[in-house]
Each structure stands twice: as structure tokens, then as C-alpha cells.
Chains A and B, each alone.
Chain A
């Protein structure tokens, strides 16, 4: 063989290799964090600090991905879930987010928790074009695809919930005098804003706004004050411990207003039971998740699947904790998005697929509540159903209501 033929053979061989490899590349597209065998998912949770109760969300997600991996992964790829602690401190969140993106090189930052921590990393992740997918906060500003195309919310936002209550009040109690108790932070104020927006021109129906600090030992004095104001509708924007106190105190001092309780505290196990079932009758609330402590779901298929999952992968979980159900559902949402991505695991495609979920029903969601997104709707779950407490369980009533609010 002469030198020229050798060269020719070599170059043809190279050309063949190049062609075949570029053919393979055309089928499979990856960004940092995804390979043929693995998808790297980053997450930030407050495992320590003041909000550490929410850490179970991260643990549930980890357990769920373990289940997915044990069952063969997603399109043959295993999920590598890297979850860091930020102690609910925004500067630490920034450090951890940067660690995930620049050091661990994850494909997406999934379900980081809390409004201040997410605000701290939103600009950074958007400038890096890394998906900040399904953030675990009910603030309203995450649905803003125009300014932040790499950030997407998950649960119904706080404002849409109180807007729904406001509409209900206007329709059924047009002459009501409303007393509001809210927690003095972003969560409480967001809810309050929704209520005021919902009342529109009739904001004057609110006769008293009482706020309490999350560090307060009890809220008894606020309840007494609210009663004295003569309010006959009570909008109760409190976290579980305080919600139970409020319900109890109401009964103690014989104040019987129409009582709206935010869904943050709509748990039978951690609020209604400790407050006493007899004290909680006829309270109105709303939800989008199934309450695992509610007896009506005992033989529900979705709930059974949830129980089987917990038995096998997270047996020490507290099944009365709504956060476990939350983590399970949002992890399912991510798995759905990754499945839709197929072999095109670029960050851009992840956002594209996340923005094209159609009528997805998940086992943990109430019947009729569906996950829907589009290029202009970055609020995956925006439906709620009103419910009234009867006996020892929540009785849902009326239709599933939508309350989309843009950011």
C-alpha cells in the first residue's frame, strides 16, 4: 500500500467515525449534568435553622428518586440527586446554588425552598440559564416567564387562594365585617394582598388587620381583639401551630364568625385534631393536595400508591405531615418533565418541556386538580377546591376553582 492509499483509507475511516458520531449526537443532546447514564439534579433545602420542618420535602424527594432509580431510571438514566442545606439563610443559598451549578454541574436546580432564598438565586440562575424549576414557595412572583424564563413555580400561589376566599365572601356575605389575622412576613403579607385585591373596591369590609410575629408564644390576645372589633368573618392566615391555637381560643371565648383558614394549615392531623374537632366545625378552607390524615382517602388508589412508596423507601416518614405529600407530588412532576425530554436533555429543552405540561393528573392531587403550563403560564398548579370541616374530615364543595395570578 502506498502512502497515499494509506492516507485515503485513514481519512475515510475517520470520516465514517465522524459521521457516525455526529449522527449519534443529533439524536442525543446533552447539557452539563446529563449523560447517557445519569441526570444530575440539584436541590437546596433548609435542613437546619428556623424552617427545618420543611427539610422532609428534600428527604421525600430523595426517597422518590431512589424508587425511580430502582425501577430503572428515566429513559435508562439514573437520577443523581444532590441536595444541600442553606438553613433558610439567603447568602448561604447563593453559595449552595453556585456550588450546585459551578462545582457539581447539575442540569437543573429543582424545588429550592423559601421565598427569600429563591429570590436570592433567581437572577443568578437566570443569567446562567440554569432552570430554577418548581420552586417550593407560594409567592406570586414566580410566574413571570417574560422576565425570568428560567424560573418556574409549582403550587397555587398565596394570592390566588385569598382571592378565591374574597370572591366567596363577596358573593355569600356581601355585608360582612372581616377580621384578618396574619403572620408578619412575606407569606402573611402575600395572602393579605390577595384578599385585598380580591375585595377590590370593597376593601373597607376589613375592619381589623392583626399581625403576629412567628416568634410569638401565643396569639390569644389577638383573637380577643378581633372578637372585640365586631368582625363576623375571620380570615385566618396562620401557620399550623397558631392556627390550632386560634381555633381553640375562638371556641373558648365563644366567638363564632365565618372562619376561613388558609390551606397552609388545613391539615387534619396537625391542626384540626389538636384544636379539637368540635371547635373546628364549619371552618372553610381550600386545598389542592390530598390530606393523608383525612379518612376519606383511605381506599383511594393514589393514596395507596403513596403509602406503598413510603413503606418501601421512606418508612420513617411522618404520614401526617403534608410536606411529605408535597415532596412526593413535586418529585413526580419533575420525573414527568424529564420523561418528556426524552434524549434531548438540554437545559433549554427541560424548560420547554416544563412549559408544556397538559392536564397532568398526579396521585397526590385532589380529583379534578390538574397540572397545566404553557409558554406564558409558569404556574403549574393553579387550581383549588373549597372545603368545609364536617365531623372529622374536610368535605369538598363547589367546583375546582382557578385563580391564576401573574407575577
Chain B
């Protein structure tokens, strides 16, 4: 592992400025985790495989937000809208047009990319909390759009749309859940690698220069407007793919699934995972899926309060989320090695 780059992170605690190489895990660690993820389903029940699939799906959505916020420094509370758009695109194509489920994902991604890019245009004039509010409006509006009478013949209106769950292809001896797990895993890995490469590319550097100092970036010749909208589009597109995956895995879409609560959950996942640290997205996703369950098992009547306390403890102890834990662990390993 490249210790020099990691040390730089500990010396720069501000969440806003994450050096690009510190956004990922080392190759060795990544491969070990991938291997573990590949063999894990062989030992667990279908239900656990389903939960792990959901973690990956939410993880992709959190990752998308991370590219936007951690990468280009723009806030969004409207990710649930793009997630819904992707989910509905997939569901409508599968149910009404009989498109193969795997083919619906790139379409879902493109549709959401388009929507995100277009939304990014007017949003250019806004920054910080104002942008957060504008996207918040998007998240609030989305469930009602989905209920509109006009779209009802496609979206099923308030009743939602039930989707057929796909079987494993080529007669593979896998249950539906385990097949979807591997399917999701493949897409997750592709998106993860793609995102890392994006952030390491010329565009990624442009994102980060805008995040760190917009004026300096434009003085250096970065087309601020272009890259800001591009970041929005990419983030929305990836979120849309996550949404499409969720429609396939959950096998049901309804407006109630994509309320503002989802957007806030994704935001929460990003903060808990560590803003700007891509692997943390999946830790954050696990947090938003499992911690409410833990809170509920502690007290049913006060599950919300217990969740709040747990969240508070996490933010208080490790304000930089999973990234901070990972760095601390790495330092400890380094010391032990000496």
C-alpha cells in the first residue's frame, strides 16, 4: 500500500479536500474483498444474499452521490428522484415492453443521466445549501409525478408496478437471489472501477479542482459549467442504474418507495461512509440498511430515537466516517509492522 499518499490524508482532516489517490483502497485489499464477496453466497441463505445485494445497490447510489459531493463538491438531496427514475424506467420497460432486464439498466442509466444533466444546467447558478434545497424540491416532487393520472397506464399510478424476477440464465444451478447477487456484484465492480478511473482522469481532476476552488479552477482553464453539469449527469446516471437494479431485485416499484426519506438515507450513507472515500459508500449503505434493524430490535416504540442515538455516536466518535476508521486501522497496522 502506498503509505505516503495515505499519510497525506491524516494531515488534511478537512472533508472537502480528499486527494484523488486516497479515494480508493489499495489493490491488495480490493482483491481480497472481491474474493470474499465472490464466495460468500455459497455459505449463506438466500435471504442474506438478498440483503447483501441490497447493500450493493444502495452502495452504488451512495457512490454516485459521493462522486457528486466528494468529487465535485456539489450537494444533492434529490438523489431519490434519479433513483426512482431509473427504477421506473427499468420496471416499465420490463413489464410493458418486455425488454430483457439486463438491457433495461443502460437505458435507465441514460435516462437518468439525461435528467441529471438537464437539471444540472439551471442548478449551475446555485451552490452549497441552495443547491441542496433545489434538489430537495426534486425529491419531494418525484413521488407525486409518478402518481400523475397522465402516466398511470405505464406506471400503475399509486398502486405501483409488480415486476417479474428473473431466473438464472443458461440453466445455472443458482437460486434467483444468488444469481441476482452475482449480477449486481458484476455491475457494482464495473461501476466502482469506472468511477475510480473517472476521478483519476482529466475530468476527475477538473471535478476536484472545482470542488477545491472554483475561481482558481476557471482561471486554469477548466470549463466550470461543463464539468459541474457533467458531474450531475454522471451521478444521476449511476443512481439511475442503482434504481433499475433495485426494481429488478425487489420486483416492485411504487411511488412510496422513493420518498425524500430515501434521499436523506443516501446522504446519511455518504456521510457515515466518509465523504469522498468511494469504498466507504458501501459501508454507508450497510449502515442505512442494518442499523435501523438493530435500532428496532433494541426498542420497537423508540426505534427512531435509538437510531438517532446510534447515528449521533458514530458522527461524534468518527466524524469522517468509515474513512477515518480505515485510516486508523492502517496506521495501527503500520506501527505493528515496525
Contact = CB atoms under 8 A, between A and B. Distances in A.
A95 interface: yes
B58 to A, nearest CB: 10
Contact of B158 (A83, A98, A99, A189): A189
B303 interface: yes
Contacts of B300: 47, 83, 85
A97 B227 CA distance: 43
A47 B301 contact: yes
Contacts of A186: 157-159
- For chain B, what secondary structure do more than half of its interface residues adopt (helix, strand, loop), or is it mixed? helix
A120 B157 contact: no
Given A47-B303, A89-B256, A116 B159 contact: yes
Contact of A91 (B159, B250, B296): B250
A85 B303 contact: yes
A102 B45 contact: yes
A89 B147 contact: no
Given A89-B259, A102-B47, A119 B162 contact: yes
B287 to A, nearest CB: 15
A123 B251 contact: yes
Interface string B259-286: 1011000000000000000000000000
B160 interface: yes
B77 interface: no
A238 to B, nearest CB: 16
Interface string A305-339: 00000000000000000000000000000000000
B257 A95 contact: no
The residue in B158, B255, B256, B259 that gathers the most chain A C-beta atoms within 10 A of its C-beta is B256
A84 B296 contact: yes
B64 to A, nearest CB: 18
Given A87-B261, A213-B144, A95 B254 contact: no
Interface string A98-134: 1101110000000000011001101110000000000
A88 interface: yes
B158 A89 contact: no
Interface size class of A (residues with CB under 8 A): 20 to 34
B327 to A, nearest CB: 32
A278 interface: no
A90 B250 contact: yes
B184 to A, nearest CB: 14
A94 interface: yes
Contacts of A124: 251
A404 to B, nearest CB: 21
The secondary structure that dominates the A interface is helix
Given A49-B261, A116-B159, A185-B158, A90 B47 contact: no
B250 A89 contact: no
A89 B257 contact: yes
Nearest to A91: B250
A50 B255 CA distance: 13
B146 to A, nearest CB: 11
B252 A90 contact: yes
B54 interface: yes
B50 interface: yes
A135 B251 CA distance: 20
A116 B296 contact: no
Given A89-B256, A213-B144, A120 B47 contact: no
Contacts of A122: 162
A102 B54 contact: no
A102 B178 CA distance: 14
Contacts of B47: 98-99, 101-103
A48 interface: yes
A184 interface: yes
Contacts of B254: 90, 116, 119-120
A95 B158 contact: no
Contacts of A95: 50-51, 54, 289
B162 A98 contact: no
A186 B147 CA distance: 9
Instruction: Find the residue from B54, B157, B252, B259 having the highest chain A CB count within 10 A.
Output: B252
B158 A94 contact: no
Nearest to B301: A47
B250 A116 contact: no
A191 B304 CA distance: 33
A120 B250 contact: yes
Interface string B283-312: 000000100100010001101100000000
A102 B46 contact: yes
A48 B251 contact: no
A49 B261 CA distance: 9
Contacts of B160: 90, 116, 119-120
Contact of B162 (A59, A85, A91, A123): A123
Given A115-B159, A122-B162, 8 more contacts: A47-B303, A101-B47, A116-B256, A119-B162, A119-B252, A120-B162, A185-B147, A185-B158
7 interchain residue pairs of minimum CB distance: A102-B47, A186-B158, A120-B252, A116-B254, A116-B256, A90-B257, A91-B250
20 contacts: A47-B296, A47-B301, A84-B296, A87-B261, A89-B256, A89-B257, A90-B250, A90-B257, A94-B252, A95-B54, A98-B50, A101-B47, A116-B254, A119-B160, A120-B252, A123-B162, A123-B251, A123-B252, A185-B158, A189-B157
Interface of A: 47-50, 59, 83-85, 87-91, 94-95, 98-99, 101-103, 115-116, 119-120, 122-124, 184-186, 189, 213
